[in-house]
Chains A and B, each alone.
Chain A
Amino acid sequence: MSTLRAISVLTEYEMLRSFARRRVLILLSATLLLEIAIYYVLSRLPTSLISPIGPYIWTIGLVAPSTALLHMLAITIGASTSSEEYEVGTADFWFTRPISRLEYFVGKLIGGLLLLSSMVLLYSALALAISWYVFGPQSRIDVLAIGIVASVLAATPSYAIGVALGELMRRSMVAIVLGGIVFFGSVLFQSYASIVAVLNNDRTLIDLATYLPSWGSVGYTVTIVAELLDLQSLSTGLFMVMSGLGTVEVGKAQLSILLYSLAPLFVAWIKLRYTDVTRRSS
C-alpha cells in the first residue's frame, strides 16, 4: 500500500513538474506546429494524388512525429526527469521522505511515460481533427489507439536513453545534447548504410544497422499502422517520403525496443541506487 502511494505521489509530481517546464512546452508546441505544417502541405497537393489515401490521411499526422520529433521530446523528458532534481536541488527533499529509491525511480519513470503518452495523444487527436476538417470524413479510427501505443512504445528507447544520460551526467542540457547525438547519429548511420547497401548490393551494412537504437523505434509506428490498414505499398511510400528509411520487421523491432529500453534504465537504476545524492549543481 505504502509503495503504491509513494509511486502515485511521485507520478503525479512528475507530471505537474513537466508541465511547469518551458523546455517541454516548447518541444510540444513544435510538434503541434509540425502537424499543422504537414496538413497544410498535403492540402496543396492535387486531389488526384491525395484521393486514394484521403480517408486514411490522419495516419500521417500520427506517424510523422515518430520519425524524429517524438524521440527528441522523449529524450528531453527522460533527461529532465532524472537530472533536474539534482540541478534544482529538490533531490534532497525527495530522498529524505520515507520512500525507497526504487519507488522514487519507478514513480518518476511512470510520470515521464504518462506525460509522453499524453503528448502523443494530443498530437494524434489534432491530426485526426485537422484531417477530418480539411479532407472530409476519416476511416479506420479504430487504429488510433494502437497507433498511439505503438508511438509511445517506439519512443521508449529514446526516453530510457534520456533517463540514463540524465542520471549519469546529472546535468539536463548535457544529457539532452548527448541523447540527441546518439539518436541522430544512429539515424544518419542507418540512412547512409541503406544508400550504400543499395548501391553496392550488399546487405551487410543494413544488417549492421539493425543493431542501432533508432532502427526498431523509427520505423515501428508506420509499420504497425500500415499493416493494420493493409496498405503495405502505401506504408513503404509514406515511410520513404518521411524518413528515407525502410520498414522494419515487427518482431525484431519489438526486441530492439525492449533491449534499448531496458539496458539504459538498468544503468540509470544502478547509478541512482549505489551513488550519493549530489547537492544542487546549478
Chain B
Amino acid sequence: MGDVVKIASLVKAYSDGGRVGPITLSVKNSEVYGLVGPNGSGKTTTLRAMLGLLTPTSGSVEVFGVDPFSEPKKVNARVGYSPEIPTFPPFFTARKLLEVTCKLKGMNAQETKREVERVLDLTGLVNHAERKVASFSKGMVQRLSIGQALVGDPELLVLDEPMLGVDPVGRVHMREVLIEQRKEGKTIVFSSHELYEVERISDRVGMVYMGNTVLEGSVSDLLRSQDGRSVVEVVVKRRPNDEVRAAILRISGVKSLNVGDNSIWVELDNAHDPREEIAEVLVRSGCGLIEMRLVPPTLEDVFVRVVKQGVNS
C-alpha cells in the first residue's frame, strides 16, 4: 500500500504573522484519515496545501507523488474536495454546478446526465436540483458540497469539516455516504471537531495542536497510548467515605478517583486491571456494589489531555 498523501515538515507562514507547522503525516491507499485539532491548529492549512491552494513556506507536500501546487490539474483530476465553508456561484442551480464539475472531469453529455442524477440521489437533493444555490440552507450547501466532491468517483476525498452545519438526519445520511465510500476502498482525509465521528469512521488519526502534529496513529493505538486511560464507572449503595476512597486509591493501577452521590469513577492505568480489587474494597466497606462498567477511553479523552498538556507546558 503506497502513500497517497505524503506531507513532510510542512510549515506555512502567513503574512499576518500566523504560522502553522511543522506538520508531518502520511495517508495510505484506501485509508480513512481523520485530522483533529482545535480551531486555528492548522487542519485547514494542511488540507489546502494538499490541494495546491497554497504553497508551503518550507517542507513538502505530495499527493499521488505529485506536488499539488506545481501541478494542480493532475492532482485535482483524482481528488474530490469539500471545503470547510462551501461557497459556490450563487446563480448556479445544484444541477448546473454538478454539470460543470462533470464537464471539467472530462465526461460527455450522457455520462454527465447519469452522474448528476447519481450524485443528486446520493445526497438527497433530487427535489432541489433546479434551485439556485443562493437559496440553499447551510445544511443543503454542505450536502451539495459533499456531492460535488463525489463527482467522477475520485480516488481521494478531502473533506474539511464535512458534518459542519448538517442537521442530525443529514448527518446520519452523510455518515452513511462516507462509510459507503470507505467500503468501496476510497482514500478519505477529513478534518472534524466531531471526535465521535472521527473515531467511528477513521482508520488513522492525526492530531494537530498549535500548528504541530502532536499525535498520529491508528485509532486503537491512540486509545491504547499512555494518554488513553480507561475509566470504570461504579454504582454503589452508599457514598464511600474518605477511608474507602484512600483504600481504592492505594490499589495498583488506579490513577484517580471521582465520587458522586451513588456513583464513583475510577480512572485506570491501562497496564493493570484492578476492577476485582475495587469491587472487593467496596463490598467489604459496606458501600455495596450494584453495577460496574468499564468506560473505554475515547478520542475526546486523548484529545483533551493533549490540549491540556500543551497548555500546561
B182 interface residue (CB < 8 Å to A):
no
Give the chain B neighbours of A96 by CB distance below 8 A.
Answer: 51, 53, 72, 76, 79, 81, 83
B52 within 8 A of A: yes
Cβ A95 vs Cβ B85 within 8 A:
no
Asked whether A90 lies within 8 Å of B87 as measured between CB atoms, the reply is yes
Most buried by B among A6, A89, A92, A98: A98
> B53 to A276, Cβ gap below 8 A?
yes
A2 within 8 A of B: yes
Is A114 part of the binding interface, using a Cβ–Cβ cutoff of 8 Å? no
Does A277 reach chain B (CB closer than 8 Å)? yes
Q: In the complex, are the beta carbons of A13 and B104 less than 8 A apart? A: no
Which residues of A sit under 8 angstroms from B72, Cβ to Cβ? 95-96, 100-101
Query: Does the CB pair A97–B101 fall under 8 Å?
Result: yes
A9 near B76 (CB under 8 angstroms)? no
A276 CB, min distance to chain B CBs, angstroms: 4
For the complex, is B89 an interface residue (Cβ under 8 Å from A)?
Answer: yes
Q: Mark B81-111, 1 if CB is under 8 A from A, else 0.
A: 1010101111100000000110111100000
Summarize B's interface: helix, strand, loop or mixed.
Answer: loop
Which residues of chain A are within 8 angstroms of B100 by Cβ–Cβ distance?
9, 13
Residues of chain B lying within 8 A (CB to CB) of residue A274? 55
B104 neighbours in A (Cβ, 8 Å): 5-6, 9, 97-99
| Nearest A-chain residue to B71, judged by Cβ | A100
Tell whether, in the assembled complex, residue B54 and residue A277 are in contact, meaning their CB atoms are under 8 Å apart: yes
What is the bound-complex CA distance between A98 and B91, given in angstroms? Answer: 22
- CB neighbours of A2 from chain B (8 A): 106
Q: A99-B73, A99-B104 are in contact. Are A93 and B89 (CB under 8 A)?
A: yes
Name the interface residues of A97-121: CB closer than 8 Å to any CB of B: 97-101, 103
Cβ-based interface call for A16 (8 A): yes
Whether a CB of chain A sits under 8 angstroms from the CB of B77 is: yes
- Give bound CA distance, A17 to B90, whole Å: 9
Q: Using a CB–CB distance below 8 Å, which chain B residues touch chain A?
A: 48, 51-55, 72-73, 76-77, 79, 81, 83, 85, 87-91, 100-101, 103-106
User: Contact residues of A with B, CB < 8 Å?
Assistant: 2, 5-6, 9, 13, 16-17, 20, 88-90, 92-93, 95-101, 103, 274-277, 280
8 interchain residue pairs of minimum CB distance: A89-B87, A276-B54, A98-B77, A277-B53, A96-B81, A20-B91, A100-B73, A98-B76
